[in-house]
Amino acid sequence: MCAAPAPGHRAAIHRVLGIETSCDETAAAVVDGGTTIVSSVVSSQIDLHARYGGVVPELAGRAHVELLTPVLADALEQAGSDHTGRGIDGIAVTHGPGLIGSLLVGVAEAKALSMAWGVPLVGVNHLESHLFASLLEQPDLGWPLVVLLVSGGHTLLIEVTAPGEYRLMGGTIDDAAGEAFDKVARFLGLGYPGGPAIDALAPQGDPTAFSFPRSMPGDGYDFSFSGLKTSVVNRVRKEPGAQTADVAASFQEAVVDVLVTRARRAAADVGARALCLAGGVAANSLLRTRVSQACADDGIGAFLPSRALCTDNAAMVAAAGHWRLTRGDRSHLDLGADANLRLVSTV
Ligand code: KG4
Ligand code: ZN
């Protein structure tokens, strides 16, 4: 995928167009210098998938085809550019992991634009782009960092010793944290996506009303959320009169408790200068409060990207792409999509 830099003169990379279509957000953004967001447009397909209680892959792929052209036009126009790509020095596109049909829409468009505009292209790992969401707002992050990446598809603890240098410390052995939020919310009739719904309802409930299990498998840094989800279902079936807000608050408390306990220990064990949140679940209010408190108690930094940068967006793709393009990474017209792309160190 990424070839060695070609010898000879290469134009400096300032403005990068990012394209993100890995799941149910169609997004395009222009970022200058890797850290200044010039434009960022996100078109969510939430309404399309809500009645099915989750993302329907075929519908997502088709919606990306329809939405990507107007979303791109909007992002380019807001950045003072147009369909000729005026002022754009490079293109970054998410090429995995994600839904294969959705990824392919973005990758095909990015390759076409790179060829038409004569600018370099780089494929970006969606997980790496979530890590770069923090760098967009705080480019002077110190190293090493421990990143808790919590989204609908992933729950990972990653040690980052420098951009591109990643060590996977642990992950979920079953459901992702966001998936648990979505499944429990669906069971409670709160709609899709479940994370924001539970986040909004929980403050009206008592987080100590139910004592749900805090599963921490093994001695390392792994997570497990499927037992918690089953426990919520069994409890509500046994006690149909239970207040939904109490269930939501108690469930959220259990998830956040586990996430913060393991992340905090991971940060201490590697001597991290900071703990960083990434991914859609990083928008959760309780998680943000608890991580801030834990980091203050432990005397390390807490990096919490703004909520808009936690959930899927293309500014983070452009930021990761800027770093990759600047160091000489290039993808070619044979760039493909990989639904199961893994995060590996490339330095
Ligand atoms: O990163 P993201 O936008 O897409 C993936 O790459 O998966 O994450 C989406 C996930 C969904 O499961 C959604 O319910 C969850 O993030 N989420 C939240 C919140 N906002 C989004 N979970 C808890 N609290 C929130 N406020
Ligand atoms: Zn994501």
Residues 10-19 pLDDT 10s: 789 999 999 9
| Position in ligand 1 atom list of the atom nearest CA 283 | 26
CB-based pocket (< 6 A), ligand 1? 23, 151-153, 178, 181-182, 193-196, 199, 279-281, 283-284, 311-312
Same-domain check for residues 186 and 284: yes
Strand pairing partners for 15?
32
300 and 155 in a single domain? The answer is yes
In terms of domains, do 20 and 123 share one?
yes
**Whether residue 169 is found in the same domain as residue 296:** yes
- Same domain for 30 and 170? no
Distance CA 13, CA 29 (A): 15
Please report whether residue 212 resides in a domain.
yes
Return the residue whose CA atom lies nearest to atom 3 of ligand 1: 311
Q: For 234-245, how does the pLDDT look when each residue is reduced to its tens digit (9 = 90+)?
A: 999 999 999 999
> Stretch 79-98: mean pLDDT, rounded?
97
Spatial distance between the Cα atoms of 327 and 150, rounded to a whole number of angstroms: 28
Using the mean position of ligand 2's atoms as its centre, give its distance from the Cα of residue 127 in Å: 7
Does residue 159 sit within a domain? yes
Number of structural domains (the chain) is 2
Residue 184 has pLDDT above 80, yes or no: yes
Q: Are residues 81 and 211 both part of a single domain?
A: no
**86 within domain boundaries:** yes
Distance 266 CA to ligand 1 centre (A): 22
**Ligand 2 centroid – CA 248 distance (Å):** 23
The alpha carbon of 299 and the centre of ligand 1 are apart by a number of angstroms equal to 28
Model confidence at 4, in pLDDT bands (50, 70, 90)? very low
Do 304 and 196 lie in one domain? The reply is: yes
Asked whether residue 238 is assigned to any structural domain, the reply reads: yes
User: What ligand 1 atom has the least distance to the C-alpha of 176?
Assistant: 12
Residue closest by Cα to atom 21 of ligand 1: 280
pLDDT category at 59 given cuts 50, 70, 90 is confident
Q: Quick one: 153 and 119 in the same domain?
A: no
pTM: 0.91
How far, in Å, is the centroid of ligand 1 from the Cα of 181? 8
Ligand nearest to the CA of 305: 1
* Assigned domain for 282 exists: yes
Domain membership of residue 336 (yes or no) is: no
Pocket of ligand 1, candidates 22, 199, 311, 343: which has the most ligand atoms within 8 Å of its Cβ, to mutate? 311
Which residue, judged by its Cα, is nearest atom 23 of ligand 1? 195
The closest-lying atom of ligand 1 relative to the alpha carbon of residue 179 is 12
Residue 111: which CATH number? 3.30.420.40
Q: Are residues 167 and 95 in the same domain?
A: no
> Would you call 2 helix, strand, or coil by DSSP?
strand
Q: What is the pLDDT of residue 7?
A: 43
Q: How far is CA 345 from the centre of its chain?
A: 18
What is the pLDDT, as a whole number, of residue 139? Answer: 76
User: If residue 274 lies in a helix (H) or strand (E), which one and from where to where?
Assistant: strand 274-278
Question: What is the position in ligand 1's atom list of the atom closest to the CA of 193?
Answer: 14
> Is 210 contained in some domain?
yes
Rounded to an integer, the average pLDDT of 261-267 is 98
CB-based contact 76:83 (threshold 8 Å): yes
> Do 305 and 316 lie in a common domain?
no
What is the domain extent for residue 95?
15-131+312-326
- Assess if residue 106 is contained within a domain: yes
Q: Identity (one letter) of the amino acid at 246?
A: D
Do 52 and 171 fall into the same domain?
A: no
User: At 62, is the secondary structure helix, strand, or coil?
Assistant: helix
Q: Which phi-psi region, left, alpha or beta, contains residue 171 (left: φ > 0; alpha: ψ -120 to 50)? A: beta
Q: Same structural domain for residues 198 and 147?
A: yes
Q: Which ligand is nearest to the CA of 277?
A: 1
